[in-house]
Amino acid sequence: MTNTISIRRTAFLWLAGLMATIGVCAAAASYFLVQNEASDFLDNQLRQIALYVGDARSSPATGPDSGAPHDPEDDFVIQVWDVAGKPLRLSHPAVDIPRQQATGFADISTGSDNWRVYTLAAPDRTVQVSQDTMVREELATDAALQAALPIIVLIPLSLLTLSWIIDRIMARLNRLAVAVASRDAAADDPVPIDDVPAELIPFVSSINRLLARLRALLGRQRRFISDAAHELRTPLSALQIQIDNLRHDDRDGRFSQRLTELEAGIGRATGLVSKLLRLARYDAHETAPAPQPIDLVQLALDSVARLNPLAENRRIDLGITRQDKAIAIGSLDDFEIILGNLIDNAVRYTPPCGTVDVAVVVAGQEARIEIRDTGPGIAEDEMPRVFERFFRARPQDSEGSGLGLAIAKAAAERQGVRLTLAMREDERGLVACLIARMAS
C-alpha cells in the first residue's frame, strides 16, 4: 500500500509544533525576566518595611541600611502622625505630602511630583505610605517590555521557520510538477503517486485518466493515417498501371497530353500518401535505425544529384559551393529525408533561372549543411509557422503539399539535430541549415 502524506495534516502538525514552541519559549523568557524585576521591587519593599516598622523616632538615613545598594527613586515615602497630628516618623523629611484624613487610596500632586498615596487612619495614629507615580509607570513599562521582548525576538524566527516548513511541504508539489513536465510525449506509464500528498491523489489520478484517453486518441489517429495511406497506395498504383496501359495503346497520341496530366496528378497524390505515411511513423515514435557514421559531403552530393532533374526542369542552377570534410553519427535514412526535403523546398519556391547553393561548413564541433536559394523568402510573421503541417508560405500557388518541412522537423527531432530557417543577408532568398554535431 502506498504511504500517502496529507498536506493538511503535515501543515497542521508543523504549525502546531511551531506555535507550541513559541508559546513555551515566550512564557519561559517572560517569566524569568519579569521575575527578576518583581524580585528587585519586592526586595526593596522588604527593606523599607524593615526600616520603618515600629515607632522608633530615629531617622532611617542614619540607620545601618543607609549604604544598601538600591535605587532611591524606588523608595516609599512613609509618614506617621499621632492622634494630635504630630509627626512621629518621616522617611523623607524633604517631601511634604499632606496628611489625609480618611483611610484609602488617593492621587496627590506636590509641585512637579505626583504621588499614589495610601492612608491608614487608626484611632491612635495615622500612617501614610506614598510612591511616585512615575516610578509605578516605569515599573509597569519595564514589565510590559520584558514580557513582549521574547515575542518580538521569536516572531522573525517563527517566520523563518514557517517559510522553511512551507518550502518543505511545497517541495513535494514541485517534484510532482517536474515529474509531469519532464514526461516524454510517448510515455505510456501513468504519473507515479508514491510521493504525492493525499489531497492531490484525485487530481493526479484524473491526469492519468486524461493521459490514457489522449494516448488512445492519438493511437487511433496514427492508425487511421497509416491505414488510409496504405489503402490509398493500392488504388493509386492500379491507376498508374492503367495509365501505362492506355499510353501503350494510344498509337495516334490523342490522349497523350491528358494522360500526362493525369499521371502527374497521381504522382502528386502518391507523394502525399507517402509523406502522410512517413509522418504517421514519426508520430508513432518508431525506433530509429541503428546510428552509423555519415559523410555529410557525400550526403549533400547524393541529394543534389537526386534532385538535379527537378532543378533542370525548372531551370534552376543547383550545385554545391563548399565541401568541408564532416562526419556525423545518425540514421542515413533520416538525414536523407531531412536534406532532401530542404533542397526540394528550395527548388520549388525558387523562380526560373534562380540558384540554389548547397554548402557543407564545419565550425568547431558542429557541421552545417546550408541551402541558400534566390526565392521569395518567408515573411517574418509566417516564420514561426513554417514547420506546421500543411502550412504553405506565400506565394500559395507554388507546388507542394505543405508537409516537407514538417517531416524534416520530425526527422531532425528523432536524430537530435537542429533545423533553422532565416532570410539571406541580402534579403534575396532563404537560408535553411541542418546543424549536427561532429563525430568524435
Task: Write out pLDDT tens, residues 207-216.
Answer: 888 878 877 7
Average pLDDT for 2-29:
69
Residue 429 resides in a domain: yes
Q: What integer best gives the mean pLDDT of the chain?
A: 77
Task: Write out pLDDT tens, residues 306-320.
Answer: 999 989 999 999 999
Residue 80 resides in a domain: yes
Task: Find the CATH number of the domain harbouring 235.
Answer: 1.10.287.130
Q: What was the pLDDT predicted at 59?
A: 47
Is pLDDT of 150 > 80?
no
Residue 42 resides in a domain: no
Alpha-carbon gap, residue 190 to 182, rounded angstroms: 13
Whether residue 114 is found in the same domain as residue 224: no
Q: What was the pLDDT predicted at 63?
A: 44
Per the CB < 8 A criterion, the answer to whether 369 and 359 are in contact is yes
Alpha-carbon gap, residue 143 to 30, rounded angstroms: 9
57 or 403, which is more confident? 403
Whether residue 380 is found in the same domain as residue 400: yes
Q: What was the pLDDT predicted at 42?
A: 54
Task: Write out pLDDT tens, residues 231-275.
Answer: 566 666 767 776 777 667 666 666 666 667 676 666 666 666 666
Average pLDDT for 313-341:
91
What is 187-250 written as a DSSP string?
--SPPP-TT-BGGGHHHHHHHHHHHHHHHHHHHHHHHHHHHHHHHHHHHHHHHHHHHHHHHHH-
Q: How many domains does the chain have?
A: 3
Whether residue 278 is found in the same domain as residue 305: no
Is pLDDT of 422 > 70?
yes
Phi, psi of 77 (to 5 degrees): -95, 115
Q: What was the pLDDT predicted at 39?
A: 57
Average pLDDT for 355-373:
93
Q: How confident is the model at residue 36 (pLDDT cuts 50, 70, 90)?
A: low
Is pLDDT of 38 > 80?
no
Pairing status of strand 125-132 against strand 77-82: antiparallel
- C-alpha distances (whole Å) from 193 to each of 8, 182, 200, 208, 364 are 17, 15, 9, 10, 45
What is 346-399 written as a DSSP string?
HHHHSPTT-EEEEEEEEETTEEEEEEEE-S----TTTGGGTTSTT--PSPTTSS
- C-alpha distances (whole Å) from 75 to each of 42, 92, 98, 305 are 11, 9, 18, 113
Residue 146 resides in a domain: no
Task: Write out pLDDT tens, residues 58-77.
Answer: 444 444 444 455 566 667 78
Cα 123 to its chain centre, rounded Å, is 84
Per the CB < 8 A criterion, the answer to whether 59 and 161 are in contact is no
Q: How confident is the model at residue 230 (pLDDT cuts 50, 70, 90)?
A: low
Instruction: Fill in the amino acid letter for 66.
Output: S
Residue corresponding to grid cell 515600629? 54
Whether residue 397 is found in the same domain as residue 333: yes
Residue corresponding to grid cell 493500392? 234
Q: What was the pLDDT predicted at 217?
A: 75
Whether residue 125 is found in the same domain as residue 220: no
Q: Which cell numbers hold the place of 223?
A: 492508425
Residue 384: strand, helix, or coil: helix
Residue 351: strand, helix, or coil: coil
Whether residue 357 is found in the same domain as residue 433: yes
Average pLDDT for 48-54:
54
Whether residue 240 is found in the same domain as residue 354: no
Whether residue 117 is found in the same domain as residue 249: no
Q: What was the pLDDT predicted at 294?
A: 93
Q: What was the pLDDT predicted at 253?
A: 63
Whether residue 310 is found in the same domain as residue 426: yes
Alpha-carbon gap, residue 206 to 431, rounded angstroms: 46
Residue 175 resides in a domain: no
Q: How confident is the model at residue 329 (pLDDT cuts 50, 70, 90)?
A: very high
Is pLDDT of 229 > 70?
no
Size (the chain), residues:
440
Residue 78 resides in a domain: yes
Is pLDDT of 357 > 60?
yes
Is pLDDT of 92 > 60?
yes
Per the CB < 8 A criterion, the answer to whether 437 and 308 are in contact is no
Instruction: Fill in the amino acid letter for 124.
Output: D
Is pLDDT of 433 > 90?
yes
Average pLDDT for 34-52:
59
71 or 422, which is more confident? 422
Average pLDDT for 210-232:
71
Q: Which residue pairs from 380-389 have beta carbons closer than 8 angstroms and sit at least 24 positions apart in sequence? A: 383/421, 386/421, 387/419, 389/279
Whether residue 221 is found in the same domain as residue 91: no
Residue 87: strand, helix, or coil: strand
Task: Find the CATH number of the domain harbouring 352.
Answer: 3.30.565.10
- C-alpha distances (whole Å) from 246 to each of 250, 261, 263 are 6, 13, 11
Peptide bond into 395 cis (omega under 30): yes
Q: What was the pLDDT predicted at 280?
A: 67
Is pLDDT of 4 > 60?
no
Q: What was the pLDDT predicted at 317?
A: 94
Domain boundary among the residues 135, 160, 175 is at: 135
Domain boundary among the residues 283, 315, 347 is at: 283
pTM tops 0.95, yes or no: no
Cα-Cα-Cα-Cα dihedral sign, residues 404, 406, 410, 412: positive
Average pLDDT for 153-165:
76
Q: How confident is the model at residue 91 (pLDDT cuts 50, 70, 90)?
A: confident
Whether residue 275 is found in the same domain as residue 410: no
Q: What was the pLDDT predicted at 319?
A: 93
- The top-scoring range by mean pLDDT among 11-25, 51-65, 148-162, 205-219 is 205-219
Under 8 Å CB-to-CB from 25, ≥6 apart: which residues? 150, 154
Q: How confident is the model at residue 1 (pLDDT cuts 50, 70, 90)?
A: very low
What is 124-137 written as a DSSP string?
SEEEEEEEEHHHHH
Residue 72 resides in a domain: yes
Is pLDDT of 396 > 60?
no
Task: Write out pLDDT tens, residues 399-417.
Answer: 656 777 888 888 888 888 9
Whether residue 297 is found in the same domain as residue 431: yes
Range(s) of the domain holding residue 106: 56-135
Alpha-carbon gap, residue 119 to 133, rounded angstroms: 16
Average pLDDT for 363-370:
92
Cα 288 to its chain centre, rounded Å, is 34
Residue 216 resides in a domain: yes
Task: Find the CATH number of the domain harbouring 130.
Answer: 3.40.1840
Is pLDDT of 2 > 50?
no
Alpha-carbon gap, residue 383 to 420, rounded angstroms: 10
pLDDT above 70 as % of the chain: 68
Q: What was the pLDDT predicted at 321?
A: 93
Per the CB < 8 A criterion, the answer to whether 421 and 386 are in contact is yes
Domain boundary among the residues 283, 300, 330 is at: 283
